[in-house]
């Protein structure tokens, strides 16, 4: 499949997935219109790179659906001077989109193979740092962050991560709520976080945020 086909598929993604679902930030739309998502998936999956579902990238992981990522970036109201912590770098797609929008990105990936792939895919960007670390640990060395983006579905958000958010910043991600994945935005209120759910949306499960299992006797 030629590059011209991918260009048309990317345009169709913007028209049918982003513009119809409250992704209205022109900067987000422009960035997602430019980044070649097909370069961040396995060769066998390139033809479905722009489908409205997650795309497997190996190691039991998948890129989040474009719609979910677009809505998270949209509600975060990103600005050029933001310092962003991205949790779940996978192969680097979302980091590449963010690089067009903000000052700096720390992209955390706990899979060694995926972190290596992301580092390779993002080698041309001078404002992205890929860090191999447990997702739930974030990267405190470069904190505080004005925005934290969890690009996947998690069961909970630990304080070790939210402690790295600046007082005026926000955290966006998909959080399981009563068995449903809901996109959410959170802000700090004192030493705790207040979350607002704004959409039900399926997404790729991000490991490392599982709740401890309870036992009934």
Interval 147-171: pLDDT, tens: 999 999 999 999 999 999 999 899 9
| Top CATH class, 3-200 | alpha beta
pTM recorded for the entire structure: 0.93
Query: Collapsing DSSP states into helix, strand and coil, what is residue 16?
Result: helix
Q: Name the DSSP letter for residue 17.
A: I
When pLDDT is cut at 50, 70 and 90, the band that residue 191 belongs to is confident
pLDDT at 174 over 90: yes
**Percent of the residues in the chain that have a pLDDT greater than 90, as a whole number:** 80
Q: Which residues, 6+ apart, have CB-to-CB distance to 4 below 8 Å? A: none
pLDDT at 51 over 70: yes
* Helix axis angle, 26-34 to 3-13, nearest 10°: 160
C-beta of residue 151 within 8 angstroms of C-beta of residue 64? yes
């Amino acid at each position: 499949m030629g590059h011209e086909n991918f260009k048309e598929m990317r345009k169709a993604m913007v028209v049918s997935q982003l513009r119809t679902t409250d992704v209205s930030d022109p900067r987000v739309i422009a960035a997602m219109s430019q980044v070649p998502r097909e370069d961040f998936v396995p060769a066998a999956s390139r033809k479905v790179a722009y489908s409205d579902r997650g795309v497997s990238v190996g190691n039991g992981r998948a890129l989040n659906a474009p719609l979910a990522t677009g809505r998270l970036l949209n509600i975060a109201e990103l600005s050029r001077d933001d310092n962003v912590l991205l949790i779940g770098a996978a192969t680097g797609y979302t980091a590449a989109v963010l690089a067009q929008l903000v000052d700096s990105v720390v992209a955390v990936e706990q899979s060694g193979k995926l972190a290596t792939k992301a580092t390779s895919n993002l080698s041309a960007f001078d404002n992205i740092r890929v860090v191999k670390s447990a997702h739930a640990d974030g990267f405190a060395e470069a904190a505080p962050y004005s925005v934290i983006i969890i690009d996947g579905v998690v069961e909970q958000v630990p304080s070790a991560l939210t402690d790295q958010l600046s007082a005026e910043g926000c955290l966006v991600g998909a959080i399981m709520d009563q068995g449903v994945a809901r996109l959410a935005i959170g802000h700090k209120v004192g030493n705790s976080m207040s979350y607002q759910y704004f959409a039900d949306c399926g997404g790729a499960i991000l490991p490392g945020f599982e709740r401890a299992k309870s036992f009934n006797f």
